[in-house]
Chain A
Amino acid sequence: MRQVTGWIVLIVLVVFLIWSVMLIHPFGYPDVSDMDDYIIENSQEETGSNNVVAAVLFDYRGLDTLGEATILFTAVTGVLLLLRASKRKEETS
């Protein structure tokens, strides 16, 4: 039962995946690129950065990078939280 459901879900997913990548624009020739053209044209003037990817990361989409840094912080905090000793030092000694 579980196997059969699994296969059905998998096949439906794969069919739709292949279908969607067939439908999307051919690789290398995007249909629309207004936003990216604007960024490539204006990033030097607006952010002063030669590296357009850095300009996108830290200026145009700065909140994403802040969120990304936050996720890293969250994960580090989470890992250290889960690997902590569950008893305090003075109790064990």
Chain B
Amino acid sequence: MAALITHAPILIIAIPLLAAFLTPLIGMASSKARNAFVVVSLIFTVFLVFTLAKDVAINGIHVYTLGAASPDLSLPTGFIVPVRIILEVDGMAVFFSIIWSVVSLAAAIYSLSHIASETGQNRFFTLLLLMVMGGFGLMFTGDLFNLFVFLEIASISGAALIAYRTKFADTQEGGFKYIVVSAIASLMVLFAVGLLYGQYNSLNIAYLAQVIQYTMLDKIALALFLIAFAMKTGMVPLHLWFPDAYSVAPASITGMLVITSHACMYAAFRICFTLYGSVINAPVVGWIIIIFGLLTMFVGVTMAVYQKDVMRFMSYHAISQLGYMWVGVGVGLAVLGNPELIATYGRDAMSGGIFHILNHAMYKPLLFFTGGALFHYTGTRDLTKMGGLAHKMKWTTILYIIGTLSISGIPPLNGFSSKILIYESVYQFHPILTITGIIVSILTLASFTKAFHSAFMGAELPEYKGVKEVPRSMIIAMVILAAGIIFITLFPSLIVDSTIHPAADALIDPKPYISAVTGAIP
């Protein structure tokens, strides 16, 4: 068990990867065995993630040096610069990996029957596992170039999965847009990594954070990083590709893509708070993030109101919800240099933003899954053509209601607890932020009620006589996420204390992250 925990960071990356390499071989023998294999390997990964999370909560940051004589030997003997690739797992990384593991398990279970009638399932599941692996790598790595590699893995597999249904033209277009945006974003990341490498001759985040000077080149690199990751998360001026890509993917993949954008958000936080944490001009960067976050919130929800396609409608809401997180964490960043303000509201604002990531990661995939369930039998994503489906799909209806109430922040559901945390703390920073947040929330509720009405309520339509409840595995996947929502609703303080606050603290104070690699700071 001790050895398992020591090697857990790399095992969490390597086991989905090994499973991905084995999946095509097993799938040739039998598709049932392949399905079981995929689900079992993901369950094992979830188990490892929770074991690691428990250990990180007790023993602090985990460092894993690849290829050294011992995992914690982060620096070569008698030398002060890290040479090898180092995986580093702190509260923030663990928090994101918990979300990612649970949602990817749910998505894999959902896919079992969602794509059962299509060809190419072996390759579908292979790519799904590769995407899982890319996401974990993105969260755990402590090395900038490695971050770029894992970013590419997650985006390439994501693009291929978006274009999975090759018989429609729009899927190809969505996948192409996604891969073009990802390629440009990751090349910008690579250029920024080159700028940092050229100055400091290192790629390790912790070491760079220790020696960084905040020269003009560093500022350019920071801007490139932020633009690239904002592009990948669909922040507003760069959001045009986002609904196109998200609405055409199979529903299970859309659920995972939401978490991929959270992972890119994680990378942006890591860059701002850890890499540049000690030198950053916090108020300026914080305000830039807040302004674009507000814009994201508002534009996302106003565009969503007009949408007729159920998945596009939910994608625009995803954009708008991502704005809340940017605003929450942006407020924390804006007051980063001021310990007093951090204590009064900065930490709460950041906890609110991070808590909202957790909640969003539960209800948004759930809503996308219900959208996919509507598509599964009706064969259309157009809300105006649907109607009266509540009579036939009882489970889906109930789960959709849970998701809707949660996303619009109706008390006592979990969306409310994170939004109230953001509102209260952000109000002390600037009241206009809270007012915008509440308006966006109301618009969200209104548009989801309208969508609910047109899809589920009303008389049964004659063309949907044959519609029945979706297959069991899709229900199970949705119930996993709904159970997550209910659990957070029942025990919000437990969640906040055990996962959210460690994550926020890891962002506010980068020193433990740095000293875990480089030893005590001189």
Q: Do chains A and B make direct contact within the complex (CB under 8 angstroms)?
A: yes
* Chain A residues at the B interface, C-beta cutoff of 8 Å: 16, 19-20, 23-25, 30-36, 38-39, 42, 59-64, 66-68, 70-71, 73-75, 77-78, 80-82, 84-88
| Binary contact track B145-159/A, C-beta < 8 Å → 1, others 0 | 110011011001101
5 A-B pairs with the lowest CB-CB distances in the bound complex, closest first:
A78-B160, A67-B149, A81-B123, A32-B201, A86-B167
Q: A30-B201, A35-B202, A77-B126 are in contact. Are A20 and B195 (CB under 8 A)?
A: yes
- Is there a chain A Cβ closer than 8 Å to B67's Cβ? yes
Minimal Cβ-Cβ distance residue in A for B152? A71
Q: What's the Cα separation between A60 and B172 when bound, in Å?
A: 39
Contact status A63-B66, CB under 8 Å:
yes
Q: What is the interface of chain A mostly: helix, strand, loop, or mixed?
A: helix
23 CB contacts below 8 A, A to B, read A31-B201, A35-B81, A35-B202, A59-B67, A62-B67, A64-B149, A70-B153, A71-B156, A73-B20, A73-B21, A74-B153, A74-B157, A74-B160, A75-B156, A77-B123, A77-B127, A78-B160, A81-B120, A81-B127, A82-B166, A84-B120, A86-B118, A86-B166
Query: Cβ of B24: which chain A residues have Cβ within 8 Å of it?
Result: 77
Query: Cβ of B202: which chain A residues have Cβ within 8 Å of it?
Result: 34-35
Q: What's the Cα separation between A77 and B220 when bound, in Å?
A: 36
Q: A32-B199, A36-B201, A82-B166 are in contact. Are A61 and B85 (CB under 8 A)?
A: yes
* Chain B residues at the A interface, C-beta cutoff of 8 Å: 17, 20-21, 24, 66-67, 76, 79-85, 118-120, 123-124, 126-127, 130, 133, 137, 141, 145-146, 149-150, 152-153, 156-157, 159-160, 163-164, 166-167, 172, 195, 198-202, 215-217, 220, 223
Contact status A70-B119, CB under 8 Å:
no
Q: What's the Cα separation between A81 and B130 when bound, in Å?
A: 14
Contact status B120-A30, CB under 8 Å:
no
Query: Cβ of B164: which chain A residues have Cβ within 8 Å of it?
Result: 81
Task: Kindly name the residue among B126, B149, B159, B216 whose own CB sees the greatest number of chain A CB atoms within 10 A.
Answer: B149
Minimal Cβ-Cβ distance residue in B for A67? B149
Contact status B83-A38, CB under 8 Å:
yes
Query: Cβ of A74: which chain B residues have Cβ within 8 Å of it?
Result: 127, 130, 153, 156-157, 160
Query: Cβ of A70: which chain B residues have Cβ within 8 Å of it?
Result: 17, 20, 130, 133, 153
Query: Cβ of A88: which chain B residues have Cβ within 8 Å of it?
Result: 119
What's the least CB distance linking A8 to chain B, in Å? 12
Query: Cβ of B120: which chain A residues have Cβ within 8 Å of it?
Result: 81, 84
Residue among A35, A42, A60, A84 making CB contact with B166, cutoff 8 Å: A84
Q: What's the Cα separation between A32 and B212 when bound, in Å?
A: 13
Q: A20-B195, A36-B201 are in contact. Are A71 and B153 (CB under 8 A)?
A: yes
Q: What's the Cα separation between A42 and B83 when bound, in Å?
A: 11
Q: What's the Cα separation between A59 and B67 when bound, in Å?
A: 7
Minimal Cβ-Cβ distance residue in A for B160? A78
Contact status A24-B198, CB under 8 Å:
yes
Minimal Cβ-Cβ distance residue in B for A33? B201
Contact status A80-B123, CB under 8 Å:
yes
Q: What's the Cα separation between A33 and B145 when bound, in Å?
A: 17
Query: Cβ of B79: which chain A residues have Cβ within 8 Å of it?
Result: 38
Contact status B198-A64, CB under 8 Å:
no
Residue among A36, A67, A77, A85 making CB contact with B137, cutoff 8 Å: A67
Given A82-B163, A84-B123: 20 more A-B contacts, CB < 8 Å: A20-B195, A24-B198, A31-B201, A34-B201, A36-B201, A60-B83, A63-B149, A64-B146, A67-B153, A70-B17, A71-B153, A73-B20, A74-B156, A77-B123, A78-B159, A81-B123, A82-B160, A82-B172, A84-B119, A84-B120
Q: What's the Cα separation between A80 and B118 when bound, in Å?
A: 15
Q: A24-B217, A25-B198 are in contact. Are A64 and B153 (CB under 8 A)?
A: no
Contact status B84-A61, CB under 8 Å:
yes
Contact status A78-B157, CB under 8 Å:
yes
Query: Cβ of A78: which chain B residues have Cβ within 8 Å of it?
Result: 123, 127, 156-157, 159-160
